[in-house]
Chains A and B, each alone.
Chain A
Amino acid sequence: MNEARPVILHLEDAHQAYPDQGRMRTVLNDIDLKVRKGEFVTLLGPSGCGKSTLLRLILGSERPTQGRVLLDGKEIQGPDRDRGIVYQKYSLFPHMTVLQNVIFGLEMENYSMASRWLKRHKFLRHRKASTDRAREILERMSLGKDLNKYPHQLSGGMKQRVAIAQAMIMEPKILLMDEPFGALDDSTRTDMQLFILELWERTQMTVFFVTHDLVEALFLGTRLLVLSQYYTTARDHNEGSKIVTDRGIPGDHPKPTSFKSSPEISQLIEQVRQQGLDPSIARHIHDFDLSHADAYRTVDPEEWGPTP
């Protein structure tokens, strides 16, 4: 990666805890992270480790119980148009057509409900421009024939493409995706992976992609994060997930499809599995693989223990 690119996302000592049976249960324990513009970060982890929680912190729909989450150096206050999101479910507004879904963001922009009527003329011109733009994008996603369909008339893959278009048209600083292809069948999934890679390459956007599929994470990303609750420290009892792996993914970006069946990937998969996905192989905090150039962490002396 080009080290000169600016840091766009910065998490510092982020903790997240939820009330659970009368006490606070930590889900994210001391997350430190720096992401640069243009990176394709894939986040992997066992089910329930807090991947979606971490994404919600970056989205801003939740604030960390401790620590800070910064976008371009400014603390994130709530969801806004700087971060786009694509979910696995509820990805589209069911009462809007494909076209309406995609132009929704542009329509909201610049025009409050009142000024939409007061400046009717300008608004209509603006909407015409938005429609043309949405059409063009959907055209390129080969959805040109489905502009006036409702979401329930689309296949899973089409829905996700529309959802991506809906988020992308706003040109967010970061595109957040929470297992967006999790519900798709294998071949549609591969199509969608190629699609998002092509989009990433063309737009140079920053992507934060949550998945629980190892192959998907290694195939798509430039950088791999593994979040895991399976690790040991100098303490007897640990609670909440940490980033146990933060590494670059070797090879070209984007990768050829053949990478998915190459010997390289099987080797990587084995490594990553041992680093955090397998509950029976809990790593010690000293041995986390934080080999990425931007990886950093602040350590708690109590967890770190006496330095040997």
Chain B
Amino acid sequence: MGLFNLNARPGRKTAWALSSMLFLLCIIGYGVTAHIRHQENPDDNVVPTFSEMWDGIQRTAFEPDRNDELRLWVDSLASAKRLGYSLALLSLAILLGLYMGVFPYLEHIFLRFVLFFDKIPALALLPILFIVFGLGEISKIALILLGVFPTIALDTYLRAKAIPREQIMKGLTLGASDFEITYRIVLPQIMPGVLDTIRLNFKAMILFLIAGESLAASVGLGYRIFVVRRYVAMDIIIPYVIWMSLLAFAADVLLRIWIKKRYRWVGGES
């Protein structure tokens, strides 16, 4: 066995088998548990069998509900919209960070403030948001933004700061203006890193999304799992959780591939 062999080089097939092993184990373990529990009590709803879950998926994804809607898709779309607006607004965080990193006056105006802001636990602000903005979409988007905006702004700021001074001097000797240096030299260089940070913050964004939806919403993936919890509808909750993870995973992979393709120059210092 090469389990503790530093130099082990498993072949392609072995590598795949090894990677699938834990997934398979989980699925089998679950199936066995569900089977045993159903033998003891055919009405057990804590650990639904695969066929029960499949029914659940059928019902939410392909059969219209009372309101004549396909729930899973409606929920997904609502959640995706909230995330999409937040992502779009995060471009302001990039802009703020960039300007703080490039222009010393703006750095002095904003840096301390953003640093302080970053320390406020966003979830603690949720009641305030609900009071101020009501229970509508704004509160939920605001919560996501409060949670990750400062992080992204500060990360962009640090990256902009780390651009060697020499490059900026060189830009000036080539006749570039301050704005040209900001947008043609600094921003494109830090962009792949910033996108990576956003990618890593997906998880936090989804967390805030679900927190917001669980407390005040009438549609959305987070809202749904908290609603059906009342009926212990594990046959819905589990597929929803897996669906959310798959979506997040796919978004992550797509963004990673796109960054790699778009920023071919990444791969070395000049």
Q: Do A and B interact? A: yes
Residues of A within 8 A of B (CB): 59, 61, 78-81, 83-85, 87, 89-97, 104-105, 108-109, 112-113, 150-153, 159, 166-167, 170, 172
Q: Are B173 and A172 in contact (CB under 8 A)?
A: yes
Judge if B172 is at the interface, Cβ distance under 8 Å: yes
The residues in B between 165 and 179 inclusive whose CB is less than 8 angstroms from any CB of A are 165-167, 169-170, 172-177, 179
How far is A153 from B179 in the complex, measured between Cα atoms in Å?
A: 28
Whole-angstrom distance from the CB of A266 to the nearest CB of chain B?
35
Q: Are A94 and B189 in contact (CB under 8 A)?
A: yes
Whole-angstrom distance from the CB of B242 to the nearest CB of chain A?
39
Q: Are A112 and B177 in contact (CB under 8 A)?
A: yes
How far is A239 from B173 in the complex, measured between Cα atoms in Å?
A: 31
How far is A96 from B174 in the complex, measured between Cα atoms in Å?
A: 14
A105 to chain B: which residues have CB within 8 Å? 174-176
Q: Are B270 and A87 in contact (CB under 8 A)?
A: no
Q: A150-B265, A166-B174 are in contact. Are A108 and B169 (CB under 8 A)?
A: no
Q: Is the interface of A mostly helix, strand, loop or mixed?
A: loop
Whole-angstrom distance from the CB of B193 to the nearest CB of chain A?
12
Closest to A96 in B: B265
Q: A87-B170, A93-B185 are in contact. Are A151 and B175 (CB under 8 A)?
A: no
Whole-angstrom distance from the CB of B171 to the nearest CB of chain A?
8
Q: Are A94 and B173 in contact (CB under 8 A)?
A: no
Range of interface residues on chain B? Answer: 20 to 34
Q: Are B270 and A152 in contact (CB under 8 A)?
A: yes
How far is A92 from B167 in the complex, measured between Cα atoms in Å?
A: 8
Q: Are B270 and A91 in contact (CB under 8 A)?
A: yes
Closest to A61 in B: B169
How far is A53 from B172 in the complex, measured between Cα atoms in Å?
A: 18
B170 to chain A: which residues have CB within 8 Å? 85, 87, 90, 93
Judge if B127 is at the interface, Cβ distance under 8 Å: no
Closest to A114 in B: B179
A78 to chain B: which residues have CB within 8 Å? 172
A61 to chain B: which residues have CB within 8 Å? 165, 169, 172
How far is A14 from B175 in the complex, measured between Cα atoms in Å?
A: 26
How far is A104 from B265 in the complex, measured between Cα atoms in Å?
A: 17
Q: A79-B169, A90-B164, A93-B189 are in contact. Are A152 and B267 (CB under 8 A)?
A: yes
How far is A109 from B175 in the complex, measured between Cα atoms in Å?
A: 6
Q: Are A170 and B264 in contact (CB under 8 A)?
A: no
Q: Are B175 and A108 in contact (CB under 8 A)?
A: yes
How far is A167 from B263 in the complex, measured between Cα atoms in Å?
A: 25
Q: Are A89 and B189 in contact (CB under 8 A)?
A: no
The residues in B between 245 and 270 inclusive whose CB is less than 8 angstroms from any CB of A are 263-265, 267-270
Contact of A95 among B166, B174, B265 (CB under 8 A): B265
Contact of A113 among B174, B180, B185, B263 (CB under 8 A): B180
- Sampled A-B contacts (30; CB under 8 Å): A61-B165, A79-B169, A79-B173, A80-B172, A80-B175, A81-B174, A85-B170, A89-B164, A90-B269, A93-B170, A93-B189, A94-B189, A94-B268, A95-B263, A104-B174, A105-B174, A108-B174, A113-B177, A113-B180, A113-B183, A150-B264, A150-B265, A151-B265, A151-B270, A152-B269, A152-B270, A159-B270, A166-B174, A167-B174, A170-B174
Judge if B31 is at the interface, Cβ distance under 8 Å: no
B173 to chain A: which residues have CB within 8 Å? 59, 79-81, 83-85, 167, 170, 172
Judge if B64 is at the interface, Cβ distance under 8 Å: no
Q: Are A90 and B167 in contact (CB under 8 A)?
A: yes
Closest to B267 in A: A152
How far is A170 from B174 in the complex, measured between Cα atoms in Å?
A: 7
How far is A87 from B170 in the complex, measured between Cα atoms in Å?
A: 9
B179 to chain A: which residues have CB within 8 Å? 113
Q: Are A94 and B172 in contact (CB under 8 A)?
A: no
Judge if B188 is at the interface, Cβ distance under 8 Å: yes
Q: Are A92 and B270 in contact (CB under 8 A)?
A: yes
How far is A90 from B184 in the complex, measured between Cα atoms in Å?
A: 16
The residues in B between 156 and 214 inclusive whose CB is less than 8 angstroms from any CB of A are 164-167, 169-170, 172-177, 179-180, 183-185, 188-189
Closest to A91 in B: B270
Closest to A109 in B: B175
